[in-house]
A and B are shown apart, each in its own frame.
Chain A
């Protein structure tokens, strides 16, 4: 463990820092932290299902956060939002809870090949229980073809799950079309979407989209870690997948993380306060960063679509001839914080399944770097990143035996 401290002291704090790793997690602004603080020890520190004042105060946080979530996704009266303790848990509840509650109707589950692991892994787990999981392929930009989805959904299919926005390459699916394609094939099918990377980036309207279940996560919008949410349309049947004393909610046991819910509530308010302006700002910085990289660095591949069909905050590129993990370390030393879909960052040394699904070769996936723009970024942050990235890439390419040698050494 002392290793970590040694690493931190060796790394040191760079004089200038820009955080682009909001895909994995992020920092929480002071307003959000302040909104959380009273609920640790001043009020609402009780159990939200107990009849005493601190309990009722806690319940007020749960309820108002639920109402706010319902409002920003245009949920209807009678629909529900279940709070979990992470986005992963919300996705697990959606996949396993639906399958277990509906297995009499069928055993087939259709998901896309670029879903987040928190959708793919529970689906794989269901295969062990006798369900059949089919993966819809995506095209070179990560899009699902509604016709293919339509052909894959049949009478046996109980659940379809496709993301609204891909977490790695920012593909914005034509979700309404996909829901229509699936329900045309089987009107009984339950449609889940993981909208964790859509919240705060594109408008979400569950009624217009026609989805039955939709997952959200607090820490992807500058809220605290430790809160996920699952929207459940009225009448959709789910079974709890973890068991214990149910609190204020029917589907997820365990005491609600009330301070974090208060933080999530504030983070939503901030994200939606100037939604259009925030999105326009992110989109402008996204394009500045992407175009800036393409102008300054040779042999770069853009992963995912370009333009309006890409999430306004997502930049994902592969720098050829170098490996992404070493680039994340090199950029970290320069105060530019990113992540990579390289195998070297993973447990089984396998590169990002999303990049492989869109047809990237292993060596192309290894050099991939994800940047996520935040509404808090400024022009200068992008300028700083653009001043560091070319040098960082150049240094690692100079080390690489597979990089074409441009100059005699």
Chain B
């Protein structure tokens, strides 16, 4: 039978509401050094992260675009604040729990928003080294990091559900 939804109260923190209302670092970055995305339109969540990285490997500017819920927009926005001025190595250390904490918490069902934000960031950092620098530094493992894997899992989960539903029709 069909999977159907039921509703749940989503109590956002004032920080989430504030960032939703007045997001920082919004929009495309025309002079970005690297861009990466996580999520998919089918799952209703896409985060793009734009980074401008200088010669010393320091993030000079970071911006985002978001298709998703209020938590998604807030998570992407706060992450761009968190990475500004950091080296790529420092930015790589940020976890989705850090982002969630910085937002004052998220409803559990919205944790994937922080996961996608950090997933997009790590994809961007990996991409910067593999495509711009042509080699990975020792602190980036060959295997995907936790958030990169989790972002992939979120994307695949939705793809699976989508296929299941399409097959059921």
Q: Tell me which residues from 33 to 54 in chain B have a Cβ below 8 Å from any Cβ of chain A.
A: 37, 41-48
Q: In whole Å, how far is A19's beta carbon from the nearest beta carbon of chain B?
A: 17
Interface size class of A (residues with CB under 8 A): 35 or more
Q: Which residues of A contact B12 (CB under 8 A)?
A: 7, 329
A321 B13 Cβ-Cβ under 8 A: no
In the complex, how many residue pairs between chain A and chain B have their CB atoms under 8 Å apart?
A: 137
A4 B11 Cβ-Cβ under 8 A: yes
Q: Which residues of B contact A362 (CB under 8 A)?
A: 41-44, 158, 162
Q: Tell me which residues from 300 to 351 in chain A have a Cβ below 8 Å from any Cβ of chain B.
A: 321-323, 325-326, 329-330, 333, 342-351
Q: With A10-B17, A353-B2 given, is the CB distance from A401 to B7 under 8 Å? A: no
Determine the distance from Cα of A403 to Cα of B17 in the docked complex, in whole angstroms.
23
| Nearest-neighbor residue (CB-CB) of B44 within chain A | A366
Q: In whole Å, how far is A123's beta carbon from the nearest beta carbon of chain B?
A: 8
Give which listed residue, A121, A342, A347, A400, contacts B8 with CB less than 8 A: A347
B68: interface (CB < 8 Å): yes
Q: With A133-B1, A347-B8 given, is the CB distance from A400 to B65 under 8 Å? A: yes
A344 B69 Cβ-Cβ under 8 A: yes
What 8 additional pairs, Cβ within 8 angstroms, besides A342-B44, A346-B5?
A121-B4, A329-B69, A346-B7, A346-B8, A349-B44, A349-B109, A362-B162, A401-B67
B5 A352 Cβ-Cβ under 8 A: yes
A387-409 CB mask vs B (1 if < 8 Å, else 0) is 00000000000111111000001
Q: In whole Å, how far is B156's beta carbon from the nearest beta carbon of chain A?
A: 14
**Chain A, interface SS category:** helix
B6 A347 Cβ-Cβ under 8 A: yes
B28: interface (CB < 8 Å): yes
Q: In whole Å, how far is A377's beta carbon from the nearest beta carbon of chain B?
A: 24
Q: Which residues of B contact A409 (CB under 8 A)?
A: 27-28, 30
What are 7 A-B interface contacts by the 8 Å CB criterion? A120-B4, A323-B67, A325-B69, A346-B7, A353-B4, A366-B41, A399-B26
A207: interface (CB < 8 Å): no
A321 B67 Cβ-Cβ under 8 A: yes
A296: interface (CB < 8 Å): no
B66: interface (CB < 8 Å): yes
Q: In whole Å, how far is B75's beta carbon from the nearest beta carbon of chain A?
A: 12
Q: Which residues of B contact A120 (CB under 8 A)?
A: 1-2, 4
Q: In whole Å, how far is B163's beta carbon from the nearest beta carbon of chain A?
A: 11
Q: Tell me which residues from 2 to 34 in chain B have a Cβ below 8 Å from any Cβ of chain A.
A: 2-8, 10-14, 17-18, 20-21, 23, 26-28, 30
Q: In whole Å, how far is B41's beta carbon from the nearest beta carbon of chain A?
A: 4
Q: In whole Å, how far is B146's beta carbon from the nearest beta carbon of chain A?
A: 20
A34: interface (CB < 8 Å): no
Q: With A6-B13, A11-B17, A326-B68 given, is the CB distance from A350 to B3 under 8 Å? A: yes
A293: interface (CB < 8 Å): no
A347-361 CB mask vs B (1 if < 8 Å, else 0) is 111111100110001
Q: With A350-B5, A401-B66 given, is the CB distance from A3 to B13 under 8 Å? A: yes
Q: In whole Å, how far is B108's beta carbon from the nearest beta carbon of chain A?
A: 11
A117: interface (CB < 8 Å): yes
Q: Tell me which residues from 51 to 83 in chain B have a Cβ below 8 Å from any Cβ of chain A.
A: 65-70, 72-73
Q: Which residues of B contact A350 (CB under 8 A)?
A: 3-5, 161
A333 B21 Cβ-Cβ under 8 A: yes
Determine the distance from Cα of A409 to Cα of B8 in the docked complex, in whole angstroms.
37
| Nearest-neighbor residue (CB-CB) of A354 within chain B | B4
Q: Which residues of A contact B26 (CB under 8 A)?
A: 398-399
Q: In whole Å, how far is A361's beta carbon from the nearest beta carbon of chain B?
A: 7
B165: interface (CB < 8 Å): yes
Determine the distance from Cα of A336 to Cα of B127 in the docked complex, in whole angstroms.
42
Q: In whole Å, how far is A66's beta carbon from the nearest beta carbon of chain B?
A: 31
